[in-house]
Amino acid sequence: MRTLLTGLSAAVLLQGALAQDVSRVAAEPAGLKPLASSVNGRVVAQPDGMLLRQWPGTYAEAAFQGDEVYFRVGAGDVSLRVSVDGEAAVPLVKPAAGLYRVANFKRGGAHLLRVAVASESQGGATGFGGFLIGATAQPAPLPRRSRQIEFIGDSHTVGYGNTSATRQCSQADVWATTDTTRGVAALVAAHYGADYQANAISGRGVVRNFDGYKADTLPEAYPFALFDKSRKADDAGWQPRVIAIALGTNDFSTPLRTGEPWATREQLRAAYEATYARFADALHRRHPAAYIVLWIAAGDGAEVRSEVERVAEQVRRSGNPRIGFVPVAGLSMSGCDWHPSVADDRQIADALIQHLDKQRDVWAAAAR
């Protein structure tokens, strides 16, 4: 959803001469006032004004005129990227709850501040408390993006360990090197000047999670704002013109275990195809104007590649011609645990962009 607000101690890792400085404020300055903002991603508002979020890729933006701006971080481990006017982002890793000041950016004119979540939060929700400005600053108009893209998937959509220099990673390494802001969703959305959601969970599948792990599959978790399923997602106002889905790697990447619901791979494939097709059909009914593209990072002959292609064809035969299939082969898979690297993410994004550019009327109802 795109939520309007009336108004994130770990180290702030500054890399070189970045254009802005982010620091925690011990005592709140007098006279701060709320700054209107937009939040993209599924959130649950709390009585104290804090927003809880858990799906990856959440980002908040505020526009202002002035030399400094503030934002609040709530509880929970999170890795943020803070940028002003599209300059190189400052990483803010596991920040303590509290108030943060952004300053030392280019002076003059209106500015756009973005605070984006880079990390995955399967272990629990994290909080964001909005933006504030002082008496010498003024609000400015927020950008109005008419295009919206939704990405649904697993670790390949999350950006699991995509910045890692090695495939061998501990769980801590995975968390630290995951960066959704440099992943497929962010790259494609930036190309089209679109807002985006990344509704993905690493390790989850359509009917079977990685190695038979017992937890909600992605379609089971999808309807909810948080992973505890305490509240349905409020997607009012969210009308994506493109829905890009990448699911199946976890369903098929490991052998079936004794006791799983499917005695054979044939039974697993049949369940996968039927469930995935129903999921895609439900998304089509909810967003009838959206073009759906099923993509998968897999080479020729891979079981999952054939299965995703079969699902796309089933959906097409059921009466929805606005569906595409994009396989992406030749990736280095040099991220953590043989996952796509940031270079691979760029290759996947380029393949999706090339495919979308060939489709007629994808953005017909969206102002250019």
Give the whole-number percent of the chain exceeding pLDDT 70: 94
SS3 62: strand
Residues 202, 341, single domain; the answer is yes
Residues 135, 200, single domain; the answer is no
Mean pLDDT of 165-184: 98
| pLDDT, tens digit (0-9, with 9 covering 90-100), for 221-268 | 999 999 999 999 987 889 999 999 999 999 999 999 999 999 999 999
CATH code for the domain in which residue 28 is found: 2.60.120.260
Per-residue pLDDT for 10 more than 50? no
Residues 89, 225, single domain; the answer is no
Q: Are 112 and 16 in contact (CB under 8 A)?
A: no
CA distance 150 to 153: 10
CA distance 51 to 107: 30
Mean pLDDT of 54-76: 97
Query: At which of 91, 107, 139 does a domain end?
Result: 139
Residues 73, 202, single domain; the answer is no
In a domain, 329, yes or no: yes
Q: Tell me the sheet residues that pair with 21.
A: 103
Q: Are 182 and 356 in contact (CB under 8 A)?
A: no
Mean pLDDT of 340-365: 94
95 contact partners, CB below 8 Å, separation of at least 6: 8, 9, 10, 12, 24, 73, 78, 80
Provide the pLDDT for residue 131.
98
pLDDT class of 2 with cuts at 50, 70, 90: very low
Residue found by looking up tokens 């090695």 in the block: 166
CA 269 to chain centre: 27
| pLDDT, tens digit (0-9, with 9 covering 90-100), for 313-352 | 999 999 999 999 999 999 999 999 999 999 999 999 999 9
Burial 305-334 (b: 16+ CB within 10 A, else e): bbbbebbbebbeeeebebbbbbbbeebeeb
Q: Are 102 and 20 in contact (CB under 8 A)?
A: yes
Per-residue pLDDT for 365 more than 80? no
Residues 351, 212, single domain; the answer is yes
Cα Rg of the chain, angstroms: 21
pLDDT class of 107 with cuts at 50, 70, 90: confident
Residues 231, 104, single domain; the answer is no
CA distance 24 to 47: 24
202 is annotated as an active-site residue: no
Residues 135, 153, single domain; the answer is no
Residues 119, 240, single domain; the answer is no
According to DSSP, residue 12 is labeled B
Query: At which of 139, 169, 196 does a domain end?
Result: 139
CA distance 37 to 34: 9
Mean pLDDT of 151-170: 98
Report the mean per-residue pLDDT for the chain: 93
Per-residue pLDDT for 367 more than 60? no
CA distance 153 to 248: 9
Compute φ and ψ for 126, nearest 5 degrees. -125, 165
Per-residue pLDDT for 37 more than 80? yes
Give the whole-number percent of the chain exceeding pLDDT 90: 91
CA 147 to chain centre: 16
Using alpha carbons, list the distances in angstroms from residue 9 to 25, 81, 172, 207, 280: 10, 15, 18, 40, 42
Count how many domains the chain has: 2
Provide the pLDDT for residue 235.
79
Other Cβ atoms closer than 10 A to 124: 13
Mean pLDDT of 284-291: 95
Treating both helix axes as pointing N-terminal to C-terminal, what angle do 265-286 and 303-317 enclose, rounded to 10 degrees? 40
pLDDT class of 20 with cuts at 50, 70, 90: confident
Active-site residue, from 155, 164, 202, 334:
155
Per-residue pLDDT for 208 more than 60? yes
Q: Tell me the sheet residues that pair with 38.
A: 4, 61
In a domain, 367, yes or no: no
User: How many residues are given for the chain?
Assistant: 368
Longest dimension (CA), the chain: 68
Q: Are 113 and 64 in contact (CB under 8 A)?
A: yes
Residues 168, 19, single domain; the answer is no
In a domain, 362, yes or no: no
Mean pLDDT of 167-179: 98
CA 77 to chain centre: 17
Domain encompassing residue 59: 2-139
